[in-house]
Amino acid sequence: MKNKMSFLPQEGEAHPSRCPDNSAFKQQKLPAWKPQLTIATVLSSFFVIGVFCLSVGVCLILSANSVREVQIDYSDKCSDCSKLRENSSNWNKECHCYVNFTLKEDILGDVFMYYGLQNFYQNHRRYVMSRSDAQLLGRNVNIQKSYCTPFTTYKNGTPMAPCGAIANSMFNDTIDLYYNLNSSVIQVPLLKTGNSWWTDKNVKFRNPKSYNLSSAFAGTARPLYWQKPVYLLDEQDERNTGYINDDFIIWMRVSAFATFRNLYRRVRRIRWFADGLPAGNYTFHISYNFPVSKFKGRKHVILSTVVWSGGSNPFLGIAYVVTGTAATLTGFVITAIHLKLRKKKTYFQK
Amino acid sequence: ADLLLLCSSEPHGLCYIETAELDGETNMKVRQAIPVTSELGDTSKLARFDGEVICEPPNNKLDKFGGTLYWKENKYPLSNQNMLLRGCVLRNTEWCFGLVIFAGPDTKLMQNSGRTKFKRTSIDRLMNTLVLWIFGFLVCMGVILAIGNAIWEHEVGVCFQIYLPWDEGVHSAFFSGFLSFWSYIIILNTVVPISLYVSVEVIRLGHSYFINWDKKMYCAKRRTPAEARTTTLNEELGQVEYIFSDKTGTLTQNIMVFSKCSVNGHSYGDMQDVLGHKAELGERPEPVDFSFNPLADPRFQFWDPSLLEAVKLGDPHVHEFFRLLSLCHTVMSEEKSEGGRGGQDLALCVSGCDAGSDRPVLSPGELYYKAQSPDEGALVTAARNFGFVFRSRTPKTITVHELGRAITYQLLAILDFNNIRKRMSVIVRSPEGKIRLYCKGADTILLERLHPVNQDLTNVTTDHLNEYAGEGLRTLVLAYKDLEEGYYEDWSERLHRAGSAPEAREDRLARLYDEVEHDMMLLGATAIEDKLQQGVPETIAILTLANIKIWVLTGDKQETAVNIGYSCKMLTDDMTEVFVVTGHTVLEVREELRKAREKMMDGSRSMGNGFSYQEKLSSSKLTSVLEAIAGEYALVINGHSLAHALEADMEVEFLETACACKAVICCRVTPLQKAQVVELVKKYKKAVTLAIGDGANDVSMIKTAHIGVGISGQEGIQAVLASDYSFSQFKFLQRLLLVHGRWSYLRMCKFLCYFFYKNFAFTMVHFWFGFFCGFSAQTVYDQYFITLYNIVYTSLPVLAMGVFDQDVPEQRSMEYPKLYEPGQLNLLFNKREFFICIAQGIYTSVLMFFIPYGVFADATRDDGAQLADYQSFAVTVATSLVIVVSVQVG
C-alpha cells in the first residue's frame, strides 16, 4: 500500500496529464436555450403578434386621422414674385403676396405653422457636408479647411458667417397670418422661438463670445444670398439672433428627403386664439424672397395640429395594420393546415 | 539513402530489417549481401572495394530493384534482396556496410511521398468565387447609380446649381456620374465582406480547440488527446463521403492472437460463456492457467482449458500439433542474458514504450521471439505456452523444450513461404532418426494435398475452418508427412542440384517442393485473431449508415485484407458477391472489371423484375445505371491489377465499378498507389475524401486526400506529422466526423449565410437611398456606424453562433447518422443558399429603408418640431437594422 502511495504521485509528476479538462465550456456542454417549436407556441405567438400589431396600428391610424391640417401651395399663387426672383439682380427688391383661405371649422389645440419645400435636395451629399459645425459652435476656426466651399469667402477674402451651402440657401420668406374677423383684420400672434430641438439650440449652436454680437461677427460677412448679416436675423430678441436663431437652426437640421416641411411658427394661444384657430377667413402675408421656380421646386405653407403620435402621417399605422393582418392570416393558415393534417393522421391511425 | 548491402555482422551477410515506415508491414524481413561482398567485414578490405554499380534510374517501386555490380571483372546481378532502403530499421543486426545507390530525393521513400499541397476546403473556394461575384455585383450597383447620377445632374442638378454648384473641375453631368461611380464603390464596399475571412478563421480556430479539448476523443491508455493540427479544414469534416483507411495499426492493433484451433476433428478455443470473445473483460471466464510451464509467456491468454488438459493427458495428435507449431516457422528466438546486446535492445525498448507499443520490457532470462510475421509469432507463442517451447535455432538445428524435455531436431530443409505456394514446410530429423515433413499453409492449397485417408477428418476440419473464417479469424491448416530415408536422400540430392542450377532455378525448386508436399496427413487448423481496435466494426457500421464509403488500402496480402474486411463487418456473408480482381495484365483486369459490372447489372435487372419492381420505377430517374444497383457488392483488387486499373484509359471504368460496390479493399498497394486511388476519387467524384493511416506508408495518401487523419499509434509519427487531425483510436473517427465535423459544417454554413445576409441588408439601404438623394453618394448612416457595424454592432452574436451553435445534441447525431447527409450533399451552403441569403438581405434592406421613409416623410414630433431630418432618419434606420439583423442570428 505504502509502495503504491509513493508511486502514484510520481507518475503524475512524470507525465502531466494531457487529458482535457472536464469543463462545460471545453466539452461543449454550456447551457443553452433550446426552443421547442410546438403548434401551440407557434400559433399563439403568431396570434399574439398579430393582435398586438393590429391594435397598435388601429390606434395610430385613429390618432393620425384626428389631426387637422391645412396645406396651401403658394408657389403658383405668387407667380409675379417668383418671376421677379428668377432674376438674381433683383435680390434687394421686396415682393409681397397674399394668399387667402377659409377655415370651415375651428382648429382646436396647439396650431403649428410649417413651410414646406418640394424638390429641394437637402439630402444631397455635397449639400449635407457643406457646413462648419465648429463655426456654428462659435469657435474661431479657419473655415477654409471645412467643406464649405464654394460658400466660404468672398473674392476679397472676407469669410462668410455662417459658411456653406446649407446656410447660404436658408429659407428666407416671411409669412404672417391674418384673421379676417368681421372686416377687421387681426394679426394672428405667432411664436418664433421654442420651435427647435433643445439640443440644437443649447448644445450644437453657439454665438461667438464678445461684448456684443456685431463685434463678435466683425470681420465676417453675410452669406452670399442673404439680405442681412447673421447677427441681425432677429433684431428684437437677442437670444434668438446670430447662430442661435430658431429659423436658422431649424434650416440647418437638413432634411432626409427632397420633400420636407420645417416648423416655422406656433400660434400663440391668447384672446381669439386661446382654443386654436376659429373658423373664418384668413390671409397669409408672404414676403417672397426664396426662389424655387428655377429648380422646379414648390413652396407650401401648412397649418397643423399634433397628437401624441405626431403629425398627420398615417403610414406607421398602416404598416402596423398590414403586419398584424399578415401575422394573423398566417396564424389562421397554419391552424387550417394543422387541423387538416391532424384529421388525416387520425384517419390513417384508424 | 538507399544502400546496397555489402556486408553485415550476421553470417552470410544477412541483415534483418523492419520496413514499417515503407510499406506498413511490421514483420522482419531478411536482406542478404551478395556473396562476394559479404566477406568485406573489415574496414581495410572495404576501403579497397572498387566495384561499379549500374542500376535502374530512381523510381518509386519499393519491391523491385534491378542492377549489376561490376567488380574484379565479374558481373553480379543485384536485386531488391540486396537493398536496404531509406526508412527501414535494422533489427537483430549489429552493423552493416552498404554502398549508397540513391540519396536524398532519389530514394524510394522520397519518390513515394507525394507533394505537399496547401489544403483548402470547398467552402473556401466557394467563398472566393462568391466574393468575386459580390464584387461584380458591387460594380453593377456602382454603374447603375452612376448612370442615375449623370441623369439626375443633367435633369435636376443643373437647375439646382444656384444653391449647390458643381465641384470645381466638374463641368458635365457625365463626369459627375463618373465621380459618383467611384464614390459609390467606396460607400458600397461593405457589401464585400472583408472581415468575413478573419471571422471564419476565428471560428475555425474555436472548432479546432473544441476537438483538442474533447474528452471523449482522449485515449487514456496512450495518454493522447485528439489533436487538430490544422485549423482550416474543420467544416470539411462534415462533408466526407469517402474514407480511405489503412489496415495495419489503423483498423487493427497489429497484435495477432492465437484464439482457436482444431485438432484431429476437435475444435478448441470456444469460450465457455456464449457471449463470444467480444464480451467485456469482466464477464470473461478465467483464462487458462499456464503456471505449470516456467517458460510460458505471461501475456498469452487462452480461454479453453480442455486443450491444456489434452496436452497434459498426452493426446498424441495434440502433441504433434504443437510440435509442428514449434518447428515449422522462421521465427528467431532471443534469450536474454546479461550484458551483450542488452543495452541496445533496452534502448529500443524504451523508445517502443514511448510510442505506446506492446513490445515487452525484457527481464533477464526471458525468452523473446522475433517473427517475420506476427502470425507466426502468435503460433509459436501458443505452442510455447502449451509446453512446446521453441528455444533456439542454428542453421542446422532447432531446439525445442517439449513439456520440459529439451529435444534438438536436425533441420534438413526449409521450404519457404511465398505468395503462390501459400504454404511453408520444414523437414526435420527427430533425435530418434525419423524424418518428417511439417507443413502449414492456406486451407485452399493444403486441403488438396492431403492423403485421401483424411477425407472424414478433412470434412470436419473444413467445417471448423468455415466457422473460424466467419468470425474473421485468419486460418492455417497444419499437416505432416513421414518421409522414407531413401526417398529423402534422393529428393535432397535433386534439391541441391536444382538450387545450384543456373537458370529457371525458381521453377525447378517449386516443382520439387510441390512433389514432396503431397499426400500429407492432416493435423488440424489454427485460427488467429488479428485483433481489431476497439469499436472498429461499430464505427464502420455507423459511418456506413451515414452514407460514407470506406475503402481499405493496405500493403498486406489479399487474404489478410479480406479477413479483416470480414472481421470489421465491411464484408459480410450477406453480400451478393465479392469480386476479386487479381489480373496481371491490362486485358485481364479490364475483363474482370467488365464482368463485375455485368454481374451487378444482371443482378439489378433480375431484382428489378421481382418484388422491387415498384422501387425500381420510382428510382428510375437515377442517371447512372450503376448507381441503381440492387444488392450489395464488394470489390477486392490487388496491387498489380490496381496498377493497370489506374492507367488513364481504365481509371474511369475502375472507379465506376468500385463506387458501385459497398466495400472496396485494395491490397498489396504501394504508398504511391494509395495516393493515386485517392487522387482518382478526388478527380472524378467531386466528393470530400478522408484518408486515415498510421504509418509512413500512408503519408502520401494522407497528404493527397482532402483531409488526412493520422493515428498516433505504434508506427512512428510520420503519419501524424503529415496529417491534419490525429488521435489514437480509429473509433474516434465517428465522433470527429459525426459530431465535430457536422457541427463545424453546420456552424460555418449558418455563419456564412448570415454574414452575407447581414452585409447585404446593411449596404443595400444606401442603394435605395441613392434614388432619393440625387445619386449623390450620400450615406444613410453616420460614419461611425458604418465603421463600427461589422466590428462592434453585429460581430459578437454571429461569432458566438459560429463557435457554439448546436442544432441537435451530440448523442442525436451519433444515433441518427443520416443527419450527416446534408453535409455530403453540400445542402447547407451552396450557390442556391447564397442567393437565398442575398435575396433575404435585399428584402430586409428594402423594408429597412422604405418603412422609415414612409414613416418619416412629413413626420413631426408630438411637440410639433420637425422629425424628418437626416440625422433622425439615419439613427432610426441604423438602430432598427441592428435589432432586425441581430434577432435573425441563427
Å from B855 to nearest chain A CA? Answer: 5
Q: Is residue A261 part of a domain?
A: yes
Confidence of residue B846 (pLDDT cuts 50, 70, 90): very high
CB-based contact B856 A257, cutoff 8 Å: yes
Å from B602 to nearest chain A CA? Answer: 39
What SS3 state is found at B315?
coil
B 777-806 residues inside an 8 A Cβ radius of A = 777-778, 804, 806
For residue B358, the model assigns a pLDDT of: 40
What torsion do the CA atoms of B250, B254, B260, B262 make, to the nearest 10 degrees? 110
Number of helical (H) and strand (E) elements in chain B, helices listed first: 31, 29
Q: Is residue A13 part of a domain?
A: no
Confirm or reject contact between A91 and chain B (CB < 8 A). no
CATH for B565: 3.40.50.1000
Q: Of A187-196, B238-247, B377-386, B558-567, which gets the smallest average pLDDT?
A: B558-567
Q: Is residue B302 part of a domain?
A: yes
For residue B283, the model assigns a pLDDT of: 45
For residue B620, the model assigns a pLDDT of: 39
Q: Is residue B633 part of a domain?
A: yes
CB-based contact B773 A123, cutoff 8 Å: yes
**Based on the domain organization, do A243 and A273 belong to the same domain?**
yes
Q: Which amino acid is at B712?
A: S
Q: Of A182-186, B255-259, B734-738, which gets the smallest average pLDDT?
A: B255-259
Confidence of residue A5 (pLDDT cuts 50, 70, 90): very low
Please give the Cα distance from B43 to B36 (Å, whole number). 15
Q: Of A85-89, B119-123, B137-141, B704-708, which gets the smallest average pLDDT?
A: A85-89
CB-based contact A260 B163, cutoff 8 Å: no
Q: Is residue A287 part of a domain?
A: yes
Dump pLDDT digits (tens) for B269-281.
775 444 444 444 4
Please give the Cα distance from B164 to B71 (Å, whole number). 99
Q: What are the CA-CA distances from residue B702 to residues A122, B645, B673, B706, B718 (Å)? A: 64, 21, 12, 8, 10
pLDDT value at B293 more than 80: no
CB-based contact B806 A32, cutoff 8 Å: yes
**Based on the domain organization, do A323 and A252 belong to the same domain?**
no
Residues in Cβ contact with B327 at an 8 Å cutoff, skipping those fewer than 6 apart: B390, B398, B400, B409, B426, B428, B438
**Based on the domain organization, do A112 and A254 belong to the same domain?**
yes
**Based on the domain organization, do A116 and A223 belong to the same domain?**
yes
Q: Is residue B52 part of a domain?
A: yes
For residue B116, the model assigns a pLDDT of: 62
What SS3 state is found at B255?
strand
**Based on the domain organization, do A51 and A87 belong to the same domain?**
no
**Based on the domain organization, do B398 and B437 belong to the same domain?**
yes
**Based on the domain organization, do A54 and A137 belong to the same domain?**
no
Residue in chain B lying closest to A116 (CA): B858
Angle B536-B537-B542 from CA coordinates, rounded to 5°: 100
What SS3 state is found at B98?
strand
Confirm or reject contact between A240 and chain B (CB < 8 A). no
Confirm or reject contact between A133 and chain B (CB < 8 A). no
3-state helix, strand, coil in chain A (%, to 5): 40, 20, 40
CA-based torsion, A192, A193, A197, A203: positive or negative: positive
For residue A350, the model assigns a pLDDT of: 45
CB-based contact A295 B160, cutoff 8 Å: yes
For residue B845, the model assigns a pLDDT of: 94
Cis amide bond preceding A229, omega within 30:
no
Q: Which of B218, B227, B775, B858 to mutate to test the interface with A (most CBs of A within 10 A)?
A: B858
Please give the Cα distance from B655 to B677 (Å, whole number). 9
**Grid cell locating B133:** 461575384
B 151-170 residues inside an 8 A Cβ radius of A = 156, 159-160, 162-165, 167-168
Å from B700 to nearest chain A CA? Answer: 29
Å from B122 to nearest chain A CA? Answer: 26
Q: Is residue A1 part of a domain?
A: no
Average pLDDT over residues A67-94: 81
Confidence of residue A49 (pLDDT cuts 50, 70, 90): very high
Average pLDDT over residues A86-114: 85
Higher local confidence (pLDDT), B153 or B639: B153
Structural contact between residues B403 and B395, judged by C-beta atoms closer than 8 angstroms: no
Confidence of residue B879 (pLDDT cuts 50, 70, 90): very high
**Grid cell locating B198:** 478573419
A40-44, A91-95, B92-96, B634-638, range with greatest mean pLDDT: A40-44
Higher local confidence (pLDDT), A135 or A7: A135
- Report the relative pairing of strands B707-711 and B725-727 from DSSP bridges: parallel
Share of chain A above pLDDT 90, in %: 28
Structural contact between residues B71 and B48, judged by C-beta atoms closer than 8 angstroms: no
Average pLDDT over residues A307-328: 91
Structural contact between residues B282 and B295, judged by C-beta atoms closer than 8 angstroms: no
**Based on the domain organization, do B570 and B693 belong to the same domain?**
yes
Q: Is residue A26 part of a domain?
A: no
Residues in Cβ contact with B129 at an 8 Å cutoff, skipping those fewer than 6 apart: none
pLDDT value at B347 more than 70: no
Average pLDDT over residues B19-28: 65
CB-based contact B183 A30, cutoff 8 Å: no
**Based on the domain organization, do A86 and A135 belong to the same domain?**
yes
Among B473, B506, B531, the domain boundary falls at: B531
DSSP assignment of B547-562 equals T-EEEEE-SS-HHHHH
**Grid cell locating A320:** 402596423
Dump pLDDT digits (tens) for B168-184.
788 888 898 999 999 99
**Based on the domain organization, do A50 and A193 belong to the same domain?**
no
B 171-210 residues inside an 8 A Cβ radius of A = 183, 210
pLDDT value at A172 more than 90: no
**Based on the domain organization, do A178 and A191 belong to the same domain?**
yes
pLDDT value at B721 more than 50: yes
Å from A90 to nearest chain B CA? Answer: 15
Q: Binding-site residues of B for ATP, please?
A: 246-248, 376, 417, 440, 474, 554-556, 668, 674, 697-698
For residue B583, the model assigns a pLDDT of: 80
Q: What are the CA-CA distances from residue B64 to residues B58, B59, B82, B104, B416 (Å)? A: 11, 9, 11, 19, 20
Confirm or reject contact between A112 and chain B (CB < 8 A). yes
Q: What are the CA-CA distances from residue B887 to residues B139, B797, B868, B881, B884 (Å)? A: 30, 9, 27, 10, 5
pLDDT value at B110 more than 80: no
**What is the residue range of A318's domain?**
43-67+312-329
pLDDT value at B581 more than 90: no
Average pLDDT over residues B842-858: 91
Higher local confidence (pLDDT), B272 or B110: B110
Known catalytic residue: B42?
A: no
What SS3 state is found at B256?
strand
Average pLDDT over residues A113-128: 90
Average pLDDT over residues B510-525: 83
Confirm or reject contact between A13 and chain B (CB < 8 A). no
Structural contact between residues B246 and B694, judged by C-beta atoms closer than 8 angstroms: yes
CB-based contact B220 A165, cutoff 8 Å: no
Confidence of residue A4 (pLDDT cuts 50, 70, 90): very low
Higher local confidence (pLDDT), A80 or B114: A80
Confidence of residue B862 (pLDDT cuts 50, 70, 90): confident
A191-195, B101-105, B265-269, B761-765, range with greatest mean pLDDT: B761-765
**Based on the domain organization, do B692 and B760 belong to the same domain?**
no
Q: Which residues of A touch B212 (CB under 8 A)?
A: 20
Dump pLDDT digits (tens) for B352-400.
333 333 444 444 456 777 776 777 788 888 888 888 888 877 777 888 8
Structural contact between residues A76 and A97, judged by C-beta atoms closer than 8 angstroms: no
pLDDT value at B346 more than 60: no
pLDDT value at A2 more than 50: no
CA-based torsion, B318, B319, B322, B323: positive or negative: negative
**Based on the domain organization, do A111 and A61 belong to the same domain?**
no
Q: Binding-site residues of B for Mg(2+), please?
A: 246, 248, 694, 698
Structural contact between residues A56 and A316, judged by C-beta atoms closer than 8 angstroms: no
pLDDT value at A40 more than 50: yes
Of A259, A294, A315, the CB nearest to B855: A315
**Based on the domain organization, do B135 and B245 belong to the same domain?**
no
Average pLDDT over residues B440-449: 80
Confirm or reject contact between A214 and chain B (CB < 8 A). no
CB-based contact B162 A291, cutoff 8 Å: yes
Confirm or reject contact between B716 and chain A (CB < 8 A). no
Please give the Cα distance from B344 to B353 (Å, whole number). 14
pLDDT value at B313 more than 60: yes
Please give the Cα distance from B145 to A56 (Å, whole number). 37
Nearest of B668, B609, B601, B669 to residue B633 by alpha carbon? B601
**Grid cell locating B746:** 453546420
Structural contact between residues B55 and B68, judged by C-beta atoms closer than 8 angstroms: yes
Q: Is residue B712 part of a domain?
A: yes
Torsions phi, psi of B372, nearest 5?
-65, -35
Among B716, B739, B762, the domain boundary falls at: B739
Nearest of B261, B406, B417, B260 to residue B331 by alpha carbon? B417
Q: What are the CA-CA distances from residue A222 to residues A141, A153, A226, B165, B358 (Å)? A: 16, 10, 6, 18, 97
Residue in chain A lying closest to B163 (CA): A169
CATH for B476: 3.40.1110.10
**Based on the domain organization, do B729 and B797 belong to the same domain?**
no
Q: Is residue B653 part of a domain?
A: yes
**Based on the domain organization, do A196 and A282 belong to the same domain?**
yes
Å from A157 to nearest chain B CA? Answer: 18
CB-based contact B223 A17, cutoff 8 Å: yes
Question: Exposed (0-12), middle (13-18) or buried (19+): which is A118, by Cβ within 10 Å?
Answer: middle
Dump pLDDT digits (tens) for B619-637.
433 334 444 555 678 888 8
Q: Binding-site residues of B, please?
A: 246-248, 376, 417, 440, 474, 554-556, 668, 674, 694, 697-698
**Grid cell locating B553:** 488500402
Of B164, B212, B851, the CB nearest to A20: B212
Of B164, B220, B865, the CB nearest to A126: B164
pLDDT value at B343 more than 60: no
For residue B138, the model assigns a pLDDT of: 94
Higher local confidence (pLDDT), B395 or A53: A53
**What is the residue range of B406's domain?**
255-272+288-334+367-531
Domain count, chain B: 4
Confidence of residue B348 (pLDDT cuts 50, 70, 90): very low
What SS3 state is found at A64?
helix
Dump pLDDT digits (tens) for B132-145.
999 999 999 999 99
Q: What is the mean pLDDT of chain A?
A: 85
Of A20, A165, A312, the CB nearest to B218: A20
CB-based contact B862 A309, cutoff 8 Å: yes
CB-based contact A19 B806, cutoff 8 Å: no
Q: Of B16-20, B686-690, B810-814, which gets the smallest average pLDDT?
A: B16-20
**Grid cell locating B489:** 536422400
Confidence of residue B841 (pLDDT cuts 50, 70, 90): very high
Å from B778 to nearest chain A CA? Answer: 4
Of A122, A254, A256, the CB nearest to B856: A256
Q: What is the mean pLDDT of chain B?
A: 80
Q: Is residue A114 part of a domain?
A: yes
Confidence of residue A334 (pLDDT cuts 50, 70, 90): very high
Confirm or reject contact between A135 and chain B (CB < 8 A). no
DSSP A203: I
Average pLDDT over residues B276-305: 62
What SS3 state is found at A199?
helix
Q: Of A166-170, B233-237, B719-723, which gets the smallest average pLDDT?
A: B719-723
Nearest of B275, B213, B243, B86 to residue B693 by alpha carbon? B243
**Based on the domain organization, do B239 and B263 belong to the same domain?**
no
CB-based contact A19 B774, cutoff 8 Å: no
Please give the Cα distance from B28 to B90 (Å, whole number). 9
**Based on the domain organization, do A207 and A321 belong to the same domain?**
no
Nearest of B747, B752, B774, B780 to residue B881 by alpha carbon? B780
pLDDT value at B769 more than 70: yes
Q: Which residues of A touch B219 (CB under 8 A)?
A: none
Residue in chain A lying closest to B740 (CA): A28
Residues in Cβ contact with B604 at an 8 Å cutoff, skipping those fewer than 6 apart: B625, B628, B629, B630, B631
For residue B285, the model assigns a pLDDT of: 54
Q: Is residue A286 part of a domain?
A: yes
Q: A–B: how many Cβ contacts below 8 A?
A: 171
Confirm or reject contact between A82 and chain B (CB < 8 A). no
Q: Which residues of B touch A203 (CB under 8 A)?
A: none
Q: What are the CA-CA distances from residue B574 to residues B189, B568, B630 (Å)? A: 60, 14, 13
For residue B340, the model assigns a pLDDT of: 39
Please give the Cα distance from B730 to B698 (Å, whole number). 15
- Among B2, B23, B214, B246, the one annotated catalytic: B246
Q: Which residues of A touch B168 (CB under 8 A)?
A: 149-150
Confidence of residue B528 (pLDDT cuts 50, 70, 90): confident
Among B701, B717, B739, the domain boundary falls at: B739
Q: Which residues of A touch B874 (CB under 8 A)?
A: 256
Confidence of residue B27 (pLDDT cuts 50, 70, 90): low
Average pLDDT over residues B311-319: 82
Domain count, chain A: 2
Q: Is residue B69 part of a domain?
A: yes
Angle A219-A224-A227 from CA coordinates, rounded to 5°: 90
